[in-house]
């Protein structure tokens, strides 16, 4: 059984990222982006999805948090895509609900290799910690686009934006975990015969 891992090094004029990712992990996580709440969200994704994630990002935070958040989402998506390989013998679809106190989030994933994201978090605050709330959903959509998968992420209930955002990332981790599970009964989960 092959090890499904990826290492990403991404350097631009805005960020410098080193990322190691394993689909078949235990939830071991070490994230340092310079944006505390982003670290928290990525940690929730990894721990609840049982993915191993080591991520270090140095971004132009003197500008704002946008490039750091976006590029971390892009790098994570690239790692997921590479770790999946040819996407054979996987379940392909995954869905999950995750509550956090009064908040409830739903995530649905299709690893079809056609990127699309619908992210509806309806966050109300301008920021959570040093992370602009508009960038919370942007991390998810950037991840889906660069990871070449379809993601629907919705917060269904909740008043506390910290809880709503964290529940969304937990649900994403749980849904992705279900979708990447190996399925020895099928080589390609598609009526087309290819996952595209």
Give the list of residues 6+ apart from residue 176 with CB closer than 8 angstroms, or none.
49, 51, 80, 94, 107, 109
Asked, for residue 187, whether it belongs to a domain, the answer is: no
d(CA 94, CA 153): 12
| Distances, alpha carbon 85 to alpha carbons 111, 125, 149, 156, 164, in Å | 11, 38, 13, 33, 32
Asked, for residue 15, whether it belongs to a domain, the answer is: yes
Q: pTM for the complete prediction?
A: 0.94
SS3 127: strand
Asked, for residue 105, whether it belongs to a domain, the answer is: yes
The tens digit of pLDDT for each residue in 60-100 reads 999 999 999 999 999 999 999 999 999 999 999 999 999 99
Asked, for residue 111, whether it belongs to a domain, the answer is: yes
CATH assignment at residue 130: 3.30.230.40
pLDDT level of residue 193 (50, 70, 90 thresholds): low
Asked, for residue 85, whether it belongs to a domain, the answer is: yes
Asked, for residue 192, whether it belongs to a domain, the answer is: no
Q: Which domain holds residue 96?
A: 5-180
**pLDDT given at position 78:** 98
Q: What is the domain count for the chain?
A: 1
Q: Give yes or no for residue 142 having a pLDDT over 80.
A: yes
Asked, for residue 195, whether it belongs to a domain, the answer is: no
d(CA 187, CA 2): 15
d(CA 21, CA 156): 29
Percent of the chain with pLDDT over 70: 93
């Amino acid at each position: 059984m092959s090890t499904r891992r990826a290492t990403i090094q991404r350097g631009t004029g805005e960020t410098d990222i080193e990322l190691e990712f394993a689909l078949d992990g235990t939830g071991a996580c070490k994230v340092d982006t310079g944006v505390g709440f982003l670290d928290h969200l990525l940690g929730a994704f990894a721990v609840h999805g049982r993915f191993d994630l080591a991520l270090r990002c140095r971004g132009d935070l003197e500008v704002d948090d946008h490039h750091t958040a976006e590029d971390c989402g892009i790098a994570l998506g690239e790692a997921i895509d590479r770790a999946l390989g040819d996407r054979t013998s996987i379940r392909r679809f995954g869905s999950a609900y995750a509550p956090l106190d009064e908040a409830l989030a739903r995530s649905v994933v299709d690893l079809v290799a056609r990127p699309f994201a619908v992210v509806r978090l309806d966050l109300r605050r301008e920021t959570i910690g040093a992370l602009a709330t508009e960038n919370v959903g942007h991390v998810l959509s950037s991840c889906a686009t660069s990871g070449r998968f379809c993601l629907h992420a919705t917060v269904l209930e909740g008043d506390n934006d910290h809880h709503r955002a964290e529940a969304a990332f937990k649900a994403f981790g749980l849904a992705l975990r279900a979708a990447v599970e190996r399925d020895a009964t099928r080589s390609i989960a598609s009526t087309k015969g290819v996952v595209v």
